[in-house]
């Protein structure tokens, strides 16, 4: 196992497991990712989600159960997209917050598919899962870029005050998302795009989300935003690993 894979899997698992812990502590579903509308069902759903995510995250870190853990994460999160986000988007197609949540869920589900493809499963199945995961993630990166452009005022607002030219950097991160999405989708400089994106998300955890969590430690939305950014950092490291392994297979076949 490469350092990129080990680090990416660890970061991804810690982020998803921490989201599960948040569910148990609050007795509630995950803000943004799991938009359950029934208030009466929230405590039960929160407990189930928490237990499943924690167990799956731990399983994904163990060699014997890694494929099962990744498969469960992918199935659960992609079910959120199909059963919760899709109906919400149909009902309110101009809701930017819902587009963000749906894209984040689809990206995390795609990353879990990539992780599943990187475990010990048959090569043909692995290739299909990695490709599907890349497509999901790459499309979401394009969507994030578009959302940065559409909601530039909000993006500029959340950039820390000590960073100058908020609007410029808001647009710049939108361009970075689009470039990363194109690289991941097409495979052109795909590994470099994924590694740069991992660095981008990781830096946001440190300079954007961590200070906001410290300032508003009782706000579950701030914790969720930070953990999603952390999950995206791990996700892009896993995608970078998938590109590296593909290159190794091609080079091996040509020898």
Give residue 71's pLDDT: 98
- Mean pLDDT over 4-8 rounds to 97
Q: Is the pLDDT at 204 greater than 70, yes or no?
A: yes
Q: What is the three-state SS of the chain?
A: CCHHHHHHHHHHHHHHHHHHHHHHHHCCCCCCCCCCCCHHHHHHHHHHHHHHHHHHHHHHHCCCCHHHHHHHHHHHHHHHHHHHHHHHHHHCCCCHHHHHHHHHHHHHHHHHHHHHHCCCCCHHHHHHHHHHHHHHHHHHHHHHHHHHHHCHHHHHHHCCCCCCCHHHHHHHHHHHHHHHHHHHHHCCCHHHHHHHHHHHHHHHHHHHHHHHHHHCCCCHHHHHHHHHHHHHHHHHHHHHHHHHHHHHHHHHHHC
Indicate the domain borders of the chain. Answer: 3-254
What's this model's pTM, rounded to 2 decimal places?
0.94
- Tens-place pLDDT, residues 108-139: 999 999 999 999 999 999 999 999 999 999 99
- Tens-place pLDDT, residues 28-68: 999 899 998 888 888 999 999 999 999 999 999 999 999 99
Report the share of the chain in percent with pLDDT over 90: 89
């Amino acid at each position: 196992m490469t350092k990129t894979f080990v680090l990416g899997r660890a970061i991804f698992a810690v982020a998803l497991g921490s989201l599960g812990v948040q569910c148990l502590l609050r007795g509630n579903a995950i803000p943004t990712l799991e938009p359950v509308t029934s208030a009466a069902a929230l405590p039960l759903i929160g407990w189930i989600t928490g237990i499943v995510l924690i167990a799956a995250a731990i399983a994904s870190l163990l060699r014997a159960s890694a494929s099962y853990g990744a498969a469960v994460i992918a199935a659960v999160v992609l079910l959120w997209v199909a059963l919760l986000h899709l109906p919400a988007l149909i009902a309110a197609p101009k809701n930017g917050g819902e587009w963000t949540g749906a894209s984040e869920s689809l990206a995390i589900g795609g990353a879990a598919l990539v992780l599943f493809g990187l475990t010990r499963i048959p090569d043909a199945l692995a290739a299909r899962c990695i490709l599907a995961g890349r497509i999901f993630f790459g499309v979401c990166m394009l969507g994030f870029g578009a959302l940065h452009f559409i909601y530039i005022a909000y993006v500029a607002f959340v950039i820390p005050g000590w960073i100058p030219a908020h609007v410029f950097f808001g647009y710049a991160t939108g361009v970075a998302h689009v470039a990363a999405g194109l690289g991941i989708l097409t495979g052109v400089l795909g590994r470099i795009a994924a590694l740069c994106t991992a660095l981008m998300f990781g830096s946001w955890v440190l300079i954007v989300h961590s200070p906001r969590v410290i300032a508003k430690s009782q706000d579950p939305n701030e914790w969720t935003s930070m953990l999603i950014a952390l999950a995206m950092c791990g996700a892009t490291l896993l995608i970078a690993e998938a590109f590296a392994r593909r290159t190794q297979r091609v080079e091996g076949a040509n020898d």
